[in-house]
């Protein structure tokens, strides 16, 4: 089982990915956590797309190697697709099953405010939320509205469905 949770910051993907991994006995992988994610964003922002793509692919491969056959990713290809031009997307095929966590702007800002990481303003967050939803629709990914979601109940339902 390989499944990815993706979506904008504050969408609930980390909470759900961690809990689904626990409930299903899968490994939890966060390939773009910390410095790895900062490097990916910096390379893409600088227009160094080839290097960013190689870095992102290596991060995912490394995370998967350490995880075994059952892994729940906290971010994967969709995060990369938000940063790189389409010319780099072919390297990511086949795409794993991906669930996109999405919430409204007010909830996003509230959750990010709790972490003291509001970001660059409402317009910026609206753009990222829309971009993830657009990619989810384009690639036929499930969109999970996490605005009023109970993490435990939702994680139990998802883990049961994913391991069936």
pLDDT tens column, 141-161: 999 988 888 888 988 888 888
**How confident is the model over 88-120, as pLDDT tens digits?**
999 999 999 999 998 888 877 787 776 655 455
Residue 27 sits at φ, ψ, to 5 deg, of: -80, 150
79-83, 116-120, 125-129: the lowest-pLDDT one: 116-120
The rounded distance, in Å, linking the Cα atoms of 98 and 85 is 20
Please name the residues in contact with 81: beta carbons below 8 A apart, sequence gap of 6 or more: 89, 92, 135
Mean pLDDT, all residues of the chain: 90
What is the pLDDT at residue 42? Answer: 97
The answer to whether residue 38 scores a pLDDT higher than 70 is yes
What is the pLDDT at residue 49? Answer: 98
- Give the global pTM: 0.89
Confidence of residue 67 (pLDDT cuts 50, 70, 90): confident
CATH number of the domain where residue 71 is located: 3.40.50.300
In the chain, the number of structural domains is: 1
Q: What domain range includes position 73?
A: 2-163
Is pLDDT larger for residue 39 or for residue 68? 39
What is the pLDDT at residue 118? Answer: 46
Residue 29 sits at φ, ψ, to 5 deg, of: -130, 130
Both tokens of 39, joined, read 């490097």
Angle between helices 122-138 and 105-114 (to 10 degrees): 120
Both tokens of 106, joined, read 């007010």
- In Å, how far are 13, 25, 155 from 149, measured between CA atoms? 11, 22, 10
**CA Rg value for the chain:** 15
Name the nearest CA neighbour of 10 among 76, 78, 107. Answer: 107
Count how many residues are written for the chain.
164
Both tokens of 110, joined, read 């509230």
**How confident is the model over 9-34, as pLDDT tens digits?**
888 899 999 999 999 999 999 999 99
What is the pLDDT at residue 114? Answer: 63
């Amino acid at each position: 089982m390989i499944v990815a949770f993706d979506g904008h910051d504050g969408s609930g993907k980390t909470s759900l990915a961690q809990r689904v991994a626990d409930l299903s006995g899968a490994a939890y992988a966060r390939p773009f956590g910390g410095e790895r994610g900062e490097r990916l964003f910096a390379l893409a922002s600088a227009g160094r797309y080839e290097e960013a793509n190689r870095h992102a692919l290596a991060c995912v491969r490394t995370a998967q190697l350490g995880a075994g056959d059952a892994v729940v990713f906290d971010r994967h290809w969709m995060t990369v697709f938000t940063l790189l031009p389409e010319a780099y997307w072919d390297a990511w095929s086949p795409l794993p099953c991906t669930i996109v966590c999405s919430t409204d702007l007010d909830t996003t800002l509230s959750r990010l405010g709790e972490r003291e990481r509001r970001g660059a303003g409402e317009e910026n967050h609206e753009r990222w939320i829309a971009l993830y939803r657009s990619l989810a629709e384009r690639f036929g990914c499930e969109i999970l509205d996490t605005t009023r979601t109970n993490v435990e109940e939702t994680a139990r339902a998802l883990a049961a469905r994913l391991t069936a």
